[in-house]
Structures are given as C-alpha cells and as structure tokens.
Amino acid sequence: MATLTRPDGTEPEDLALSRRAVLIAAGYAAFDVAANAQPITTPDTGLVTGWETLPGGLPAFVARPAAKGKHPAVIVVNEIFGVHEWIKDVCRRFAQAGYVAIAPEYFFRGDPERKLPTMTDFPAIRAIVAQAKLEQVMGDTKTTLDWLAAQKFVAAKKLAITGFCWGGGITWMAAARFPELKAGGAWYGGLKGNPGPEGRRFPMDVVDDLKAPVLGLYGGQDKGIPVADVEAMQAKLKGSKSSIILYPDADHGFLADYRPSYNAAAGKDAWGKLLAHFKANGV
C-alpha cells in the first residue's frame, strides 16, 4: 500500500482512510463501509460466477458450484445498497457450501446504471429503494424462483431465501407468499411499519401465512429494530416452526464485515445456525 505524505508524517488514520477508499473502489457500499474494515474475501475456485439476465430484464448475480449435478439453491436478498461486492461474496460463501446462490438486482428499475453501491447521499438511496414496491419485489422473487426451477444444475425442490436489513424484511414476506420455498433466514429485517395508502403488510402481519420456517437473526443493540419488536415477533411465532435468535451484544448489520457494526463472533455463530436451519429443512 502506498504511504501517504504530509508535513507531519503519515498517521494511522491516513492508512485507514486509504483502506476505505480501496474498499469503495472494489465495489463495497460507499455509504457504510468502515475505514478499517478487513472484509472476508471468498475465492471463486471451483465455482461458476457471473451476471445473468432473467425474464423481464431482471439482472441477477449467480454463484454456483462448477461440479456437475443438481444443487440446492438460495435467493440472497440485498440490503438497501443493491448487489454490491459484499452481497456477491455472500453468494460465493453459499456456493462454496454447495448452494446455487442468486442475488436479484431488485432496484434495477430505479437504478438502471447500478449506481447505488457508489452513492453516499442517504436520502437519494432511500428514494431509489422506495420505488421497489412490495408487489414488484414479490414478482421479481417469483421470476427468480421460476428461473431456478428451470436450471439443470438446481435441485428444484430445495429452495431457500435469505436477506439482510431491507432484504431481511423481504425474506419474511416471501416465506409467507411462496410455497416453493422450504426455508428462510431473515437477518435484522424490519418487523413492522406504516401500511400506507396501499395497505402494505409487514412481517408481523404475515406470521400465520408463513409457508416456510424462517430463522430470524437479530441484534440486541439494533437502534432501528427495538428489542420489544423482536420479543413481540417471538411471541407471535411461538408454537410454529419459525424462530428468532437475538444476539444481545450485536448491532444492526452484524454479519456485514465491511461495516462498522460487524460482530465477528455473532456473525460466525449466526451463519452456522442459518446453514443448520437450511439443512434441517431439506435445503
């Protein structure tokens, strides 16, 4: 790494800022990347990776084992930053574990040039995200499920979904909509919200409709999702096959190793529990 120069010499924070610039240039979400982040980089050895265009023009990043045969599949639903480098790495992690992982670009209609990962203006980011209404997102999820079912390398009856932040909420909603899904993993996704004029529903509203068991993974220090909401959701899920694990010391985004909120211990434990959840439900 090049050494920065200034009259009083190079300081540690200079190198941290340089590291942040490197990560942004590598494709990590510019808005929330930590200055000193050391994100996990999963190799693509033994994998087939790249972008696919699904029916309707829906772009999707796919990572899958190169080995012949049919593999279980998981839809990876992004945060509000779109399909940036961290989401691609999550797909490679799943692929190295034997899954076909696909991350649809749910925001492509409002962001056709895929600028979201480079943006630092949060209101502008939110404006793009707001264009992806629930029914559109559910339609894109159905398109993705249909695409997976048609692929010779996919075990069509072994399909799961997982998502982060915005995508965590979408995971709950998809699990309540699509019987094709056998399991879900919702990472710190919002549980309730304003229904608005369209009468939108949220995860707390669809507990009785869940068609696949969802494992919720939440942080006790999450300022956007109060523990009271998590406990209320846990109470609604009581007696069902779905459940929530609350990590008391974890913040929002605790799996995202490029963010300041990354919690290595909680992230590792939750990732292992998610894979076990998928396996226990035949995915």
Helices (H), the chain: 12-25, 85-96, 122-130, 134-149, 166-175, 227-237, 264-280
| Sheet of strand 154-164: strand arrangement | 47-54, 58-65, 100-104, 71-77, 154-164, 181-187, 214-219, 243-247
Q: Which of 32, 84, 91, 165 is the catalytic position?
A: 165
Instruction: Specify whether 165 is catalytic.
Output: yes
Using alpha carbons, select from 60, 17, 56, 52 the residue that is nearest to residue 37.
Answer: 17
Q: Which of 222, 251, 257, 277 is the catalytic position?
A: 222
Instruction: Specify whether 91 is catalytic.
Output: no
Q: Which of 89, 205, 251, 252 is the catalytic position?
A: 252
Q: What DSSP string describes 194-248?
A: --TTTT---GGG-GGG-SS-EEEEEETT-SSS-HHHHHHHHHHHTTSS-EEEEET
Catalytic residues: 165, 222, 252
